[in-house]
Amino acid sequence: MTLRVACLGAGYFSQFHYDAWHRIADAQVVGACDRDAVRAQATGAPAFTDLAQMLTDTAPDLLDIILPPPAHAEAIRTALAHGVRWIICQKPFCTDMDEARAIVAEAEAAGATLIVHENFRFQPWYRTIKAALDAGRIGTVLNATFRLRPGDGQGPSAYLDRQPYFQQMPRFLIHETAVHWVDTFQYLFGPATHVYADLRRINPVIAGEDAGHVIFDHASGVRALFDGNRHLDHVADNLRRTMGEARIEGTEGVLDLGGDGAVTLRAFGASAVQTLRGPDTWDGFGGDCVHALQSHVAAAFAGARAPENTARDYLTVIEIKDAIYASAQEGRKLAIGGM
């Protein structure tokens, strides 16, 4: 059964979506919509400048929304009104929690499957780490740290060559970037119960925060630290491959993620290091995680598995994100759901 896919948006990041769909054997891109007709035509798919017209003409099984948050709600409602019952929506999902909850309720009432395109948990190194944790390779996990160091935030031209709207976002580091690790930490360590955050802005040309520390307490007993600074770099041939480095420490060993995408394990008390996954060789974005996510959704559409990252589940990520900002403003640890 062929999955008929229509895509909304043809900006910078959409290139990874279109490429991934073209490499999924049972998927066919039947339309590409963007306000800029030239950009829509450049995708190579049948081009449209009006979403409703595209949905009417192509009758897709799935709409892939590749737009910033202010456009999400209207696009999802338009898709639902045209009978589309599988929808993927880019993150950050919607503009705020109220809008996100309303959209989730409307999608569920229509019997639609709504998935947030949160692809970092699909990066191959995190899948390797998850498998090692599930197998008990490092015993009881106690500490975890991710150091975000993409090195792209310095100077007046920061982000202008790729995603210029980053400069105008009033909430930036957490809302746009750290949500990847909010979701990934949930995937790896289970539900978070508390957060404490200290955020700051370094580059005066952007509106939002671009550095900070967030501590997560997880119900599993893991304490995780997100240490983010977009001004600084790390050792990597491609700073956007992993965007930083991670260490996960347990009672029986340590897992390390390097900037090359390699994952290593050192047993407690030992000096020898075992490679669980070698350096990544994918030249595109994030270890081909966009393809992994979209392949996962295609399999879910075919009935082979339950989908991850449903919008209903993603409401927890938004709740944690909001708690992070509240914690930074109030200067204290906050319980998730206790604001």
For the stretch 91-125, pLDDT in tens is 989 999 999 999 999 999 999 999 999 999 999 99
Residue 1 has pLDDT above 90, yes or no: no
Residues 298 and 259 in one domain: no
Model confidence pLDDT, tens digit, residues 225-253: 999 999 999 999 999 999 999 999 999 99
Residues 101 and 211 in one domain: no
Model confidence pLDDT, tens digit, residues 127-162: 999 999 999 999 999 999 999 999 999 999 999 998
Residues 16 and 56 in one domain: yes
Residue 207: CATH number of its domain: 3.30.360.10
Model confidence pLDDT, tens digit, residues 163-183: 898 999 999 999 999 999 999
Q: Which residues pair with 218 in a beta bridge?
A: 192
Residues 326 and 181 in one domain: yes
Residues 187 and 321 in one domain: yes
> What's the pTM?
0.95
Number of domains in the chain: 2
Domain span at 170? 121-277+317-335
Residues 38 and 173 in one domain: no
Residues 41 and 79 in one domain: yes
Q: How many other β-carbons are positioned within 10 Å of the β-carbon of residue 205?
A: 14
For 270, what's the count of Cα atoms within 13 Å in the CB-facing half-sphere? 13
Residues 242 and 328 in one domain: yes
Q: Nearest CA to 72 among 87, 60, 58?
A: 87
Whole-number percent of the chain with pLDDT over 90: 97
Residue 286 has pLDDT above 70, yes or no: yes
Task: Kindly indicate the confidence band of residue 16, based on its pLDDT and cuts at 50, 70 and 90.
Answer: very high
pLDDT at 338 (0 to 100) = 59
Find the mean pLDDT for residues 263-284.
97
Residues 113 and 131 in one domain: no
Q: Nearest CA to 196 among 167, 177, 169, 223?
A: 223
What's the chain's average pLDDT? 97
Residues 159 and 75 in one domain: no
Asked whether residue 141 is domain-assigned, the answer is: yes
Asked whether residue 325 is domain-assigned, the answer is: yes
Asked whether residue 286 is domain-assigned, the answer is: no
Residues 170 and 300 in one domain: no
DSSP per-residue codes, 244-290: EEEEEEETTEEEEE-TTS-EEEEETT---EEEEE------SSGGGHH
